[in-house]
Structure 1
């Protein structure tokens, strides 16, 4: 009897897992296109009408994350162009993998060439910030505005590298390589995963509106299927390490807006402040709470972004 109950429970878990993962595969298999660019194939999706904004997603993302993050821009009258970065979903890693942020910035330009867009606003989210900065540094004539949300940066303002603890490294390497492990953990321990994967204090999420709580849950679930994002995740450290250094930041001419939260568990607040002081025409907005997803501040942050882009357009 006990064995039969155990087998039945296993079957229920398996079918629930297959249902959710199959839905995730279906979601990322529709709604995007492949651009055959001079830099190779680039997956992308577009949404909305109006001034074009290139939205460069963060770690664990793809075109779907870009569209999700920037949906309020679409509602606000902008056209969002959301590519999948190298190694995510259907955009392959390049053969030469040195200086990844620089190579990725070139791929951004190639995609815009294919789409016949000469100048865009650029919005880099988290690990999408290094290539966004490089794009505007190296092609200022193509970049009307640069927005960096919770930007991943390789060092603190003092130049010290942030090292993961042994537990954090093991947790991330294990969790982010298996759809089943990831699905199991977000099913049974969503608060832990919100803290570890989304770098957002669960208590901030619980204080936010129901709509924002739903947004955070979707961001977590939409990392599935994680295996189709694994190649990009494996190379994020190399991409972030190729972010512009202090002297290069001083050469960025583009009007820039940086946004972060003081309790972002990925520690983007101090680097964002530092970057804003080095880019000549930059402004910094900081929130005391909200974590990496700015929980509780989404609407306010996107109003600031929309107004900033429109003023420069």
Structure 2
């Protein structure tokens, strides 16, 4: 038997093993997907609006905090993000942004329209004023809310936020995998499910939590990363939102940051490659009533700093909820 024949037989055996593995795994895959889809629908509500269907959760009691979740998310991912930087002492309003899960993509799918849809949702819930917290790409509509609806916001929190910076200060994203790989992964639920089963650390890296960064995590943070990985499923129901985010980020223009009067807390990491810290620094420099907190190491997920994040955000909310527009904070170089 020559080398070519051996190679063909080996390739055939490998393909056979892969096919067999897929066939064996399919019942488990369909079971998990059925459970996930059922849970997603049971936990959320939907309303019709001028922006199409808005899906959201409204849970907890206390001061209202609207969470504007990041790319690849949905209300469920936003809820886990909130658990990372807030206590349970707030009323959390978390919509799935345009194109995520059951939320529609309206004809005007801009970040400005997304901000206006937040105001509409707050109207329907009878909430006059709220804390607006934006993470990652969700930071842009949060910023636009503060610009467009200043009377509705008590304070603004931006965490690892995507934002505009001028060419002289711009620093490009450096993603762990090329964009076209994200594009392929977010179309295929089975492949992503298999990755979560076989190599969850690979999924963690995709959302900015490398093994090196996880070495500095608490047990609670590691458990949260596992939940966040599964909160990306089904990825096919988040693909449209991810695609729209990518389009809107690529054409992002300078925003009127000087019009923001709400007290603003900005937290970012120097080693964040998803939302380079130069973006946060530029945003803080141009929002006059802002405070910038810089993390030296922690990446996009600010790993290793969960308790600090909770303390900082909660102190900030409590200080500023009833004093919108009062006081003056200065940008500083606080680091932890």
Query: Contact 1:153 / 1:268 at 8 angstroms: preserved in 2?
Result: no
Match of 1:307 among 315, 319, 326: 315
Instruction: State the Cα deviation string for residues 249-284 of structure 1 (Å, max 9, x = none).
Output: 122111100111122231432211121111001111
Q: In structure 1, how many angstroms separate the alpha carbons of the residues matched to 2:176 and 2:297? A: 27
Specify which of 72, 77, 85 is matched with residue 60 of structure 1: 72
Unpaired segments of 5 or more residues in structure 1?
none
Equivalent in the alignment of 1:204: 213
| Corresponding residue of 1:219 | 228
Alignment of 1:33-52 (within 5 A): 33-52=45-64
- Partners of 1:257 and 1:2 lie apart in 2 by 53
Structure 2: stretches of 5+ with no match in the other structure: 1-12, 322-336
Shift in CA distance, 141/188, structure 1 to aligned 2, threshold 3 Å = same
Counterparts in 2 of 1:15 and 1:308: CA distance versus 1, 3 Å = same
Counterparts of 1:125-136 in structure 2, within 5 Å, are 125-136=135-146
In the alignment, is the contact (CA less than 8 A) between 2:164 and 2:254 conserved in 1?
no
Mapped to 1, the partners of 2:50 and 2:225 lie a distance apart of 36
- Aligned equivalents of 2:120 and 2:48: distance in 1? 9
Q: Secondary structure at the match of 1:207?
A: coil
What CA distance in whole angstroms lies between the structure 2 residues aligned with 1:199 and 1:96?
30
The answer as to 2:31 corresponding to 1:19 is: yes
Contact 2:56–2:96 under 8 Å retained in 1: yes
Q: Using the TM superposition, give the Cα deviation of residue 179 of structure 1 relative to its aligned residue in structure 2, in angstroms.
A: 0.5
SS at match of 1:29: helix
- 1:185 to 2:195 alignment: yes
| Cα deviations by residue, 1:10-66 (Å, 9 ceiling, x for unpaired) | 332222322332222122111111123344321110111001011111111111112
Cα gap change, 1:226 to 1:244, in 2 (>3 Å): same
Aligned 1:1-313 pairs, distance under 5 A = 9-71=21-83, 75-97=87-109, 100-155=110-165, 158-160=168-170, 162=172, 168-195=178-205, 197-241=206-250, 245=254, 248-313=256-321
Deviations 1:111-170 (A, max 9, x none): 111111111110001110111100111111101100001001244672547266896022
Instruction: State the TM-score, normalizing by the size of structure 1.
Output: 0.90
Aligned residues: 309
Pair 1:179–1:66, CA change in 2 (3 A)? same
Conserved? CA contact 1:136–1:146, under 8 Å = yes
- Name the stretch that deviates more: 162-171 or 146-155: 162-171
Report which of the two structures shows the higher radius of gyration computed on alpha carbons. 2
Q: Which moved more, 1:254-263 or 1:11-20?
A: 11-20
Contact 1:85 1:232 in 2 (8 A): yes
TM-score by length of 2: 0.84
Residue 10 of structure 2 is matched in structure 1 by: none
Please state whether the residue corresponding to 1:52 is helix, strand or coil.
strand
- 104-113 or 17-26, which deviates more: 17-26
User: For the aligned residues, what is the CA RMSD?
Assistant: 2.5
Q: Determine if contact 2:265/2:290 at 8 Å carries over to the other structure.
A: yes
* C-alpha contact (below 8 Å) 1:134/1:243 kept by paired residues: no
